[in-house]
């Protein structure tokens, strides 16, 4: 039963990360098409960056406690990248440079979404597998 709860939690954490990144991407696209000003866009993105990092850390902690080594090894590079951004102070979007960094910020979020989609599909697979094992 604990396997089912572990995969269910990881499924929802990855889903939350995908939603946060989608929100950031919508803010960047709105900025690109002048639906929003740079200050509002950067403040909205900066408000959800720290929760994104925390959710990624909690996800890795859950996978570590549950001893799901393969998924943990797949999730660790994203956590390392986020910690590296935070430690070097490059995790926030600068309001004065957002237009110059717009394409890079969008590419970065698209890559993160693609990476998390792989984790999401694997988590969904293991969730369904543990449901099947639970009722066999």
Per-residue pLDDT of the chain in tens (136 residues, 90 and over written 9): 788 899 999 999 999 999 999 999 999 999 999 899 999 999 999 999 999 999 999 999 999 999 999 999 999 999 999 999 999 999 999 999 999 999 999 999 999 999 999 999 999 999 999 888 877 6
The pLDDT value recorded for residue 61 is: 96
Closest of 40, 112, 121 to residue 82, by C-alpha: 112
The pLDDT value recorded for residue 136 is: 66
CB proximity list for 42: less than 8 A, separation 6 or greater: 92, 93, 94, 95, 98
How many domains are there within the chain?
1
Stated as kind and residue range, the H or E segment containing 72 is helix 69-88
Domain span at residue 128? Answer: 1-133
CB proximity list for 112: less than 8 A, separation 6 or greater: 21, 78
> Can you say how many angstroms the Cα of residue 51 is from the centroid of all Cα atoms in its chain?
9
* Rounded distance between C-alpha atoms, residue 104 and residue 95, angstroms: 14
């Amino acid at each position: 039963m604990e396997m089912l709860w572990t995969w269910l939690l990881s499924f929802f954490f990855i889903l939350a990360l995908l939603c946060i990144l989608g929100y950031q991407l919508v803010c960047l696209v709105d900025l690109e098409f002048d639906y929003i000003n740079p200050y509002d866009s950067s403040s909205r993105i900066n408000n959800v960056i720290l929760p994104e990092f925390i959710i990624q850390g909690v996800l890795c902690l859950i996978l570590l406690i549950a001893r799901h080594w393969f998924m943990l090894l797949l999730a660790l590079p994203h956590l390392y990248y986020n910690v590296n951004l935070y430690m070097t102070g490059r995790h926030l979007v600068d309001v004065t440079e957002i237009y110059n960094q717009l394409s890079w910020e969008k590419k970065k979020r698209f890559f993160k979404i693609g990476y998390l989609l792989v984790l999401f599909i694997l988590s969904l697979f293991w969730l369904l597998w543990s449901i099947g094992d639970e009722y066999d």
